[in-house]
Amino acid sequence: MTHMIEIHGLHKSFGDHHVLKGIDLTVDAGEVVCVIGPSGSGKSTLLNCINFLEPYGPGEIWVDGTLIGYSKNGNGALVRVADRTLNQAREKIGIVFQQFNLFPHLTALENIIEAPIHVRRIPRRHAVEQAHELLRKVGLLEKANAYPARLSGGQQQRVAIARSLAMEPKVMLFDEVTSALDPELVGEVLAVMLQLAKDGMTMFVVTHEMSFAKEVADRVIFMDAGEIVEQGQPSNIFGSPKSERLRGFLARIRV
């Protein structure tokens, strides 16, 4: 079978700074993968490469059978695809950011229906129906007409998740989505993510929430210095870490 996400020999550099040093990774459909690791380990960069917000290379990233950002020419060399092709690929990949990035001039509802109407070109009436359904799912139906500035951080992040889901993505990427939240608001966002996982969504979650990784992840990946150091079931990663680097990391975050 083909995997939902397949990453082969992925490298990424910012100038001289080599951030990703050969990542190989697969994520199956319906799988929840959590990526942990110290800051600067390249885990957010990896996530941003998956929908080509960061152009990568060399290496290959396939999502649902589509090579992201490039196509192969006759010689098997990679050439950048047209923007239009990239945009189509991106519709399959939802992403939720640390800073929410809701559109401040639009209400919660308008944030959600914007891309379905203008990118997927579905009728406004259907988009609004779907948005109401999604707002109910994240528990914010009564905030449909509120502007982001009137919402708490946790509420904004739940709207952002609904906005991504409105494009009916095959994969959802979460980039430290609770890191900018006050502690008492973290739970409501994690609850939405847990429900999403139960519904069978394929999820790639970069997180500092070890309890979430422990309880929800099918697999945990530990990254350090641009490499995947160790991966496995949460019980193994947290219970019996093999590598020295992972043991050190776990010891530091438990202080």
Q: What is the dihedral of CA 14, 102, 99, 119, to 10 degrees?
A: -30
Q: 177 or 237: whose CB is closer to other proteins?
A: 177
* Binder of other proteins out of 95, 140, 189, 237 (CB under 8 A): 95
**From CA 30, how far away is CA 4, in angstroms rounded?**
8
**100 touches 160 (CB < 8 A):** yes
* Binder of other proteins out of 78, 167, 191, 210 (CB under 8 A): 167
Tell me how far CA of residue 179 lies from CA of 103, 189, 207, 218, 253, in angstroms.
Answer: 20, 11, 8, 22, 15
Interaction of residue 93 with other proteins, rule CB under 8 A? yes
**81 touches 69 (CB < 8 A):** yes
Interface pattern 53-92 for other proteins (x via CB under 8 A): x-----------------------------xx--xx-xx-
Interaction of residue 219 with other proteins, rule CB under 8 A? no
Give yes or no for a cis peptide into 58 (omega within 30° of 0): yes
Terminal alpha carbon distance of the chain: 42
Judged by CB under 8 A, how many residues of this single chain contact other proteins?
32
Q: Among the candidate windows 116-124, 197-205, 219-227, 233-241, which touches other proteins by CB under 8 A? A: 116-124
Interface pattern 33-52 for other proteins (x via CB under 8 A): ------------------x-
Residues that bind other proteins (CB under 8 A): 51, 53, 83-84, 87-88, 90-91, 93-95, 97, 99, 101-105, 107, 114-115, 118-120, 147-150, 160, 163-164, 167
